[in-house]
Amino acid sequence: MEGKDLKHITQIRLWLLFGNIAVIVFYGAIIFFTNLSVINYYGLKIAAALSIFYIIYHFSSNYFLEKKPEFILELSTFLTLLYSVLLIDYFSGPFGYLYLFIYILILAAFIFKPLWGLATATVFTIYLTLYGLFAAGDLTSEWRQYLIAFLSIIVSSGAGFLVNYRSQKIEREGQKLKKTADKLTAEKSQDEAVLSAIADGVYAVDRDRNLVLLNKAAQGMVGWEEKDALGIKCQTVMKLIKGDDNVSVCEKDCPALAVWNTGEAVFRTDTCFIHKKNKNRVQLSSSYAPIKDMEGNMVGAICVFRDITKEKELERQRNEFVSTASHELRTPITATEGYLSIITDSGMCKVDNNTKEYLGKARNTLLGMSSLVKNLLSVTKIEEGKLETTITNFPIKDLVKEVIDVFAKKAKDKGIELNFSESKEPGAKGKKAIGRALNVTADREMIREVLNNLVENAIKFTDKGGVTISIDYDKEFATVNVTDTGMGMPKDAQKHLFEKFYRVDNTATREVGGTGLGLYITRSIIETFGGKIWVESTKGKGSTFHFTIPLALDS
């Protein structure tokens, strides 16, 4: 308790102490200086004794005052109020008009604290009982008044208790609501601080696509203040966000509406924003996600978008450089490789075996460089969306057999088997593919490149056993499986395997070499034609690469 409150309590107790001392002085003055009849009143003697008890209590309770000041004050007040019993008894008795004060006092005590209400009701009950036994004489004539008095104490006690219970319940609920409100206020303040500190633009809409949130970064980009934007349609504020076709996404392809319809998050990197003030074109990367209530119902959507103009420009410059450098390197590498082929294979030049061996190694190095340049060009085309395709319908099993023929000698030289396990029936999981041909629809040469890459990798990382290619069919897709008995790979490497420039880091991969672009290109090609690719592998037991290609509609 604060020092100011303790000082206030001490002052109140001093006044109560002076009051009790005054009672003793008054009692002594009556005895020694007057002959008033009140000197024979038994209640005056009780009052004097009560005052002496209070004085003793006052000084003995000072030790506990700092520890429990409120309790000491309450008990002091209660002891002082006991004088009211004597006053009422002297002036009106238990049935006079002053006794109504007793019921009010009991009611107030219960409202303040049930324990003090119970103590007050007990004191007055004892008073009524003692009065009936020792002061009233014959109770038979006044039994109705006693009954009414006792019932009045019970009623006032019950009423006070109920009022106290109700008020305590309201207070508890109020405190609970206050805590909840304080918590929500703190969380809101924290969220607002986080949103204000985020450099990315953030806005949120409700079920009617009215704006309910617009952080400072978003305000700076769209040129609207939050107080002006909240409550209006998001398309009014975000109309300057446009797609590649220079049409507002709010009019043609609203991501928030897509989130609302599907309940799934939407990611966009193909939008731009025309800055309202300087009219600059800002490239955006945006993420839209649903907002759901506790029952999982959609109540709105939130969008986070950021300026990726510099990143896009750097990416464009990088791709342009890679493309230009690759084109410039391609010609001399091809020419040099051609000259080495003439020297080593045509017989036009006489070279000894040692020289021929070194020239062969130089040629293989150039072939690796040529493959790297080719992959870099493919990556550039993929990332710029300029991958040229020629879609045809063709039998996938024939293409697989052609690839096996190409790699048969390489597998034989390494001492491993290369097989094609043709499916007996065009079905998957026991279901026959009805109404579909066994032809697939894609760019044949690109699928050949996918197969070449997977089969070459399988042979490269398999020292014993073999490589098996199989095909499964279902109603929509052909699934090609390339299984090897090689070294396999750990689980944590599998999720990164199809990323650009990623290679499993171990001794075997370092010895074999590679750029880490092959599987990235493979994945991009497969996804271009609506398929997917994945791997299943156990370290030390081999791997199986699966990829799907859509079946053709014709036969």
d(CA 35, CA 449): 130
pLDDT at position 373: 62
Mean pLDDT to the nearest integer, 43-59: 80
Q: Identify the top-confidence range among 67-76, 206-215, 371-380, 409-418.
A: 409-418
Phi-psi region of 549 (alpha: psi -120 to 50; beta: other; left: phi over 0): beta
In the chain, the amino acid numbered 436 is R
pLDDT in tens, 59-97: 888 888 778 877 777 777 777 777 777 777 776 777 777
Task: Name the nearest CA neighbour of 265 among 302, 210, 235.
Answer: 302
pLDDT tier, 429 (very low <50, low <70, confident <90, very high otherwise): very low
List, in order, residues 6 or more apart from 341 with CB less than 8 Å away.
363
d(CA 330, CA 321): 14
In the chain, the amino acid numbered 292 is K
Range of weakest confidence among 8-12, 51-55, 150-154, 269-273: 269-273
- Please provide the average confidence, as pLDDT, over all residues in the chain: 76
Q: How many residues in total does the chain contain?
A: 555
d(CA 164, CA 177): 19
Domain locations along the chain = 3-173, 198-307, 313-383, 391-550
pLDDT in tens, 390-412: 888 999 989 999 999 988 988 88
CB 282 within 8 A of CB 272: yes
d(CA 250, CA 284): 15
pLDDT at position 548: 93
pLDDT tier, 428 (very low <50, low <70, confident <90, very high otherwise): very low
- 198-307 folds as Beta-Lactamase (3.30.450)
pLDDT in tens, 304-341: 887 777 777 776 666 666 566 656 666 676 667 666 77
Q: Identify the top-confidence range among 112-126, 347-361, 363-377, 438-452.
A: 438-452
Radius of gyration of the chain (CA): 47
- 391-550 folds as Heat Shock Protein 90 (3.30.565)
With a cut of 80, say whether residue 172 has pLDDT above it: yes
With a cut of 80, say whether residue 52 has pLDDT above it: yes
With a cut of 80, say whether residue 102 has pLDDT above it: no
Whole-model pTM: value is 0.45
pLDDT at position 555: 47
pLDDT at position 385: 62
Q: Identify the top-confidence range among 60-74, 99-113, 169-183, 398-412.
A: 398-412
pLDDT at position 509: 47
d(CA 415, CA 410): 9
d(CA 268, CA 259): 12
CB 418 within 8 A of CB 406: no
DSSP H helical ranges for 34-142: 42-61, 69-81, 83-91, 100-112, 114-130
Q: Identify the top-confidence range among 115-124, 424-433, 532-541.
A: 532-541
d(CA 368, CA 365): 5
